[in-house]
Chains A and B, each alone.
Chain A
Amino acid sequence: MVPLVSQMNPDASTVAAGAPIEVDLTPIAEGQDIKVFWRGKPIYISHRTKKQIEEARAVSVSSLPDPQSDEQRVKPGHDQWLVVVGICTHLGCIPIAHEGQYDGFFCPCHGSVYDTSGRIRQGPAPTNLAVPPYTFVSDTKIQIG
């Protein structure tokens, strides 16, 4: 029985291919964002503008559907970098960046709207866009995973 079920799990080559990746941030200008793939998932890396950061921090945390402050979602000292898994927490579609009334992300499938911190503001999605595990290797390089 165990083998019959266990074989459905990711095989060893898939697991090995899911090793951490490094991303160089130098080419991303302020206000731009890139999409990279890690473990088959799109990861948005946004270089936010001052205005966007201020917008994200101006809102009262307790009024959010999934209360989380912007500081909790970025690495200290690297406030301009937002790294989120680009998968809508509703049913897995990919939200479009720089769309929607909060200048964050907008999911075209069922109309969920996220702000510049990737937090859910409106629509059917239950939680904020997930932040993947990552660390800053240097000021201009992150390692995801």
Chain B
Amino acid sequence: MSGPSDFQPTNPALKWIERRLPIMGLMHSSFVAYPTPRNLNYWWTFGAILSFMLGVQILTGVILAMHYTPHADMAFKSVELIVRDVNYGWLLRNIHASGASMFFFAVYIHMFRGLYYGSYKEPREVLWILGVIIYLLMMATGFMGYVLPWGQMSFWGATVITNLFSAVPYFGESIVTLLWGGYAVGNPTLNRFFSLHYLLPFVIAGVVVLHIWALHVAGQNNPAGVEAKTEKDTVPFTPYATMKDMFGVSCFLLFFAWFIFYMPNYLGDPENYIPANPAVTPAHIVPEWYYLPFYAILRSIPNKLAGVVAMFGAIIILAFLPWLDSAKTRSSKYRPLAKQFFWMFVVVCIGLGYLGAQPPEGIYVIVGRILTFLYFAYFLILLPLLARIEKPRPVPNSIADDVLAKTGGKPAPMVSTVIALMVAGGLFLGGAETARAAEGSTKPPAQKWSFSGPFGKFDRGAMQRGLKVYKEVCASCHGLSFVAFRNLAEAGGPGYSVAQAQAFASEYKVKDGPNDQGEMFERPGRPADYFPSPFPNEQAARAANGGAFPPDLSLITKARSYSRGFPMFLIDFFTQYQEQGPDYVTALLQGYEDKPPAGFNLPEGSYYNTYFPGHAIKMPKPLNDGQVTYDDGSPATVAQYAKDVTHFLMWAAEPHMEARKQLGLQVFVFLILLTVLLYFTKKKVWANAH
């Protein structure tokens, strides 16, 4: 894209094509011969990482769409079927779901890099604005994608975000009705979101092409912020930039794979494992972490319309950055004041993100307002002012000079900034975590589970005992509707044989039909049948249980959680602790007290439970010592029952967990080898450039 190429293919067939469509010349001049500044650091590899992530998201997204059903009644179930039944469906879904977070993570680094090194300044204004457009499109796509699984957070997130448009004067309500295709978020909303979620990534890809085109016209910016002038300032894209980018992508993949294989639910909300219920709003509506700063801005402004304007303004303002910051010096390296304020701005953004996850009350509101002011002040007051009063340090004459000057002392600050950013980012994620805290409950004690950690495996004995407890106790009120009898014989399951699963199934009566006479009939269960639910519908379940609805237990260990608090959630990322759900379920089953503590007002028909949020639970104490007979000599105690049934339910919630962890190990061994190889290749390639 930088002028006519001198690329001449030698093969006559290729020559023939090239004369008619010079596509190879275009590729050659754009991605092989294209001169890149030789002083680019690793922050510049995030462009390649982002292109890679877009490709990954589109590929996995197209595949998931082959199995997904965009219907309000079936969407949640179809996602569960993808994870449970489709070959490698769990892997594809984990990639796509954590991929969205990784995409945003990379784009934020990419944007902050542009901000720090002044990549938006003349002549790269259009390049920057295209980037802002991509970011806006990404936000829309990410939001609509989050709605598709149709869990509680999906549904209420959709409700809250679409309601933003109701702030528009006069037309607000009609716009919202138009977005919904109904009088509330419902099936038409889900359908159109699916359609648009499929479309927008291709629009993004189109704008990315423009973004790269604009980049190749203006040339890349670089850490020194001076334009490349001579041959000495640049190196050809291939092999130099290609090798460096590949190494960067490979490092990023290691980070990405940690989430895919070991922490797939770390960034997600447990609430989204509960199917959407238009009658109940979750206690805390928290958007995905990547929207939190803007959510905080929205909530800090007490006026509805002004809040929405501020939130969108916070993004749109980026597009005006090239004109707000009129300083001649590009790189903050040579701007002593701008550099400090940049880092403060980063802290402000992370602070806003943290606040976005907190309940909007007390001190959080005041701090939120201060940070919102600081956010806008950075763009509207500080940058224009700095451009006038700051005295920048002299910039190097050329890129080559910059490179030569650097070879002296190895600068260490890069490492420390990475560490600082990781800690700050952790804090930010922790904010999201805290918001999920179930108030008014005691933290359940952490248990030892055989399935925790990177090599965790289920304990077959515990699962078989747990199944017995479920069947004899829980099943009278709670369904297990996503688990089929055939699952009992699958690898990674409770270890029954196919014949045993078949025998187990035949003990159940399953409703089938209609037969030739048009009547429903009962027959013995088959392996393909799912565990029958104890009640025909929610109303019947409520009527039989004093108004409370006993939740389905298929996903209960993933749908329940509790706050780990700072700094535990940070440590959890490295230790892969993710057993909040099982800990909670076990604790709940044992947490009954005969007498509530003095002063606690227990409502009629409720029971006191130490671990239940609010302590008043409708479920009577389900387990008693000796209630279930074990054949293998394990103690018939409540503690043992609770642990066994939780063990079984953890498997029910994620039947392919063992496969996930095993494949994770293989992928990590491969990625580490690849990264090491790429590192040395890159070093070899760059050896003659320094």
Q: Which of A10-18, A49-57, A113-121 faces chain B?
A: A10-18
Partner of B528, one of A6, A8, A16: A16
Most interface-central of A2, A7, A11 (chain B CB within 10 A): A7
Chain A residues positioned under 8 Å from B91 (CB to CB): 3
The answer to the question of A19 belonging to the interface, with a C-beta cut-off of 8 Å to chain B, is yes
In the complex, chain A residues whose CB is within 8 Å of the CB of B88: 2-3, 6-7
How far, in angstroms, from A6 to B659 measured CA to CA in the complex?
A: 15
Contacts of B85 in A (CB 8 A): 11-14
Contacting residue for B63 out of A2, A7, A9, A27, CB 8 A = A7
List CB contacts (< 8 Å) of B309-358 with chain A.
Answer: none
- Interface readout for A36-61 with B: 1 if CB under 8 Å, 0 if not? 00000000000000000000000000
A91 adjacent to chain B (CB < 8 Å): no
In the assembled complex, which residues on chain B have CB atoms less than 8 Å from the CB atom of A27? 516
The verdict on B486 contacting chain A, using a C-beta distance below 8 Å, is yes
Whether A12 contacts B486 in the complex (CB less than 8 A), given A3-B87, A4-B63, A7-B63, comes out as yes
6 shortest interchain CB distances as A-B pairs: A3-B88, A16-B528, A12-B85, A11-B85, A6-B87, A11-B86
A sample of 15 inter-chain contacts (CB < 8 A) reads: A2-B88, A6-B87, A7-B63, A7-B67, A9-B87, A11-B67, A11-B81, A11-B85, A11-B87, A11-B89, A12-B85, A12-B86, A12-B486, A13-B528, A16-B486
A32 to chain B, nearest CB (A): 14
Q: Determine whether the beta carbon of A19 is less than 8 Å from that of B89.
A: no
Residues of A participating in the B interface, judged by any CB pair closer than 8 Å: 2-4, 6-9, 11-14, 16-17, 19, 27
How many A-B pairs fall under 8 Å by CB?
45
Partner of A7, one of B92, B490, B516, B527: B92
Q: How far is the CB of B108 from chain A (nearest CB, A)?
A: 28
Within 8 A of A (CB), among B132-180: none
**CB-defined contacts of B474 to chain A, threshold 8 Å:** none
Bound complex: CA A2 to CA B85 (Å)? 16
Q: Is B197 an interface residue (CB 8 A)?
A: no
The winner among B63, B67, B87 for most chain A CB atoms within 10 A is B87
Sample of 17 more A-B contacts, CB < 8 Å, known A7-B63, A7-B86, A12-B84:
A3-B87, A4-B59, A4-B92, A7-B66, A7-B67, A7-B87, A8-B66, A11-B67, A11-B81, A11-B86, A12-B85, A13-B484, A14-B85, A16-B484, A16-B486, A19-B526, A19-B528
Residues in B neighbouring A8, C-beta threshold 8 A: 66
A6 proximity list for chain B (CB < 8 A): 87-88
The answer for the CA separation of A9 and B88 in the assembled complex, in Å, is 10
Residues of A within 8 A of B63 (CB): 4, 7
Number of interface residues of B (CB under 8 A): 20
Residues of A within 8 A of B59 (CB): 4
Docked CA distance A2–B222 (Å): 40
- Chain B's closest residue to A12 (CB) is B85
A11 to B89, CA, bound (A): 9
- Could you tell me the distance between the alpha carbons of A12 and B86 in the complex, rounded to whole angstroms? 6
With beta carbons under 8 angstroms apart, the residue of A2, A3, A4, A13 that contacts B81 is: A13
CA distance A14 to B66 in the complex (A): 15
Closest B residue, CB atoms, query A34: B516
Q: Which residues of B contact A (CB under 8 A)?
A: 59, 63, 66-67, 81, 84-89, 91-92, 484, 486, 490, 516, 526-528
Smallest Cβ distance from A101 to chain B, in angstroms? 32
Bound Cα distance from A68 to B86, whole angstroms: 40
Nearest B residue (CB) for A27: B516
> How distant is A19 from chain B, measured CB to nearest CB, in Å?
6
Q: Give complex CA distance A27, B517 in Å.
A: 13
**A2 CA to B526 CA in the complex, in Å?**
31
CA distance A9 to B89 in the complex (A): 11
Q: How far is the CA of A19 from the CA of B528 in the complex (A)?
A: 8
* Whole-angstrom CA separation of A3 from B526 in the bound complex: 29
Q: How far is the CB of B470 from chain A (nearest CB, A)?
A: 21
Q: Which of B86, B89, B516, B528 contacts A17 (CB 8 A)?
A: B528
Which one of B66, B87, B527 lies within 8 Å of A19 (CB-CB)? B527
A9 contacts which chain B residues (CB < 8 A)? 87
Question: With the chains together, A2 CA to B663 CA distance in Å?
Answer: 12
Task: Tell me, in angstroms, the Cα distance from A2 to B87 when the chains sit together.
Answer: 10
Chain B residues whose C-beta falls within 8 Å of the C-beta of A16 in the assembled complex: 484, 486, 527-528
| A44–B63 alpha-carbon span in the complex (Å) | 36
In Å, the complex CA distance between A25 and B318 comes to 75
- Which B residue sits closest to A14, measured CB to CB? B85
* Nearest chain A residue, comparing its CB with the CB of B485: A16
Cβ–Cβ contact B484 & A3, under 8 A = no
Which A residues are in CB contact (< 8 Å) with B81? 11, 13
State the Cβ distance, A12 to closest chain B Cβ, in Å.
Answer: 4
Docked Cα-Cα span, A74 to B527, in Å, equals: 30
A17 to B526, CA, bound (A): 10
Please measure, in the bound complex, the distance between the C-alpha atom of A4 and the C-alpha atom of B81, giving whole angstroms. 17
The chain A residue with its CB closest to the CB of B84 is A12
A14 to chain B, nearest CB (A): 8
Query: What is the distance, in angstroms, from A39's C-beta to the closest C-beta of chain B?
Result: 12
Point out the residues of chain A lying under 8 angstroms from B527, CB to CB: 16, 19
- Nearest-CB distance from A114 to chain B (Å)? 27
Chain B nearest Cβ from A68, distance in angstroms: 33
Tell me the complex Cα distance, A12–B85, Å. 5
B526, closest chain A residue (CB): A19
Q: Chain B residues near A17 (CB, 8 Å)?
A: 528
A118 to chain B, nearest CB (A): 24
**Residues of A with C-beta under 8 A to B516:** 27
CA distance A2 to B88 in the complex (A): 9
| Alpha-carbon separation in the docked complex, A38 to B381 (Å) | 73
- State in angstroms the CA–CA spacing of A16 and B81 once bound together: 13
Bound-state Cα–Cα, A39 to B88, Å: 23
Closest to A6 in B: B87
Establish whether residues B89 and A7, one from each chain, have CB atoms under 8 Å apart when the complex forms: yes
B349 to chain A, nearest CB (A): 36
How far apart sit A92 and B211, CA to CA, in the bound complex (Å)?
A: 49
Residues on B with beta carbons closer than 8 Å to the beta carbon of A4: 59, 63, 92
Central interface residue in A12, A13, A17, by most chain B CB within 10 Å: A12
CB distance from A27 to the nearest CB of B (A): 8
- Report Cα–Cα, A9/B527, bound state, in Å: 20
What chain A residues lie within 8 Å of B67 (beta carbons)? Answer: 7, 11
Shortest C-beta distance, B197 to chain A (Å), equals 19
Q: How far is the CA of A4 from the CA of B66 in the complex (A)?
A: 12
Residue among B85, B484, B490 with most chain A CB within 10 A: B85
In the complex, what's the smallest C-beta–C-beta distance from A143 to chain B, in angstroms?
A: 13
A65 smallest CB distance to B (angstroms):
37
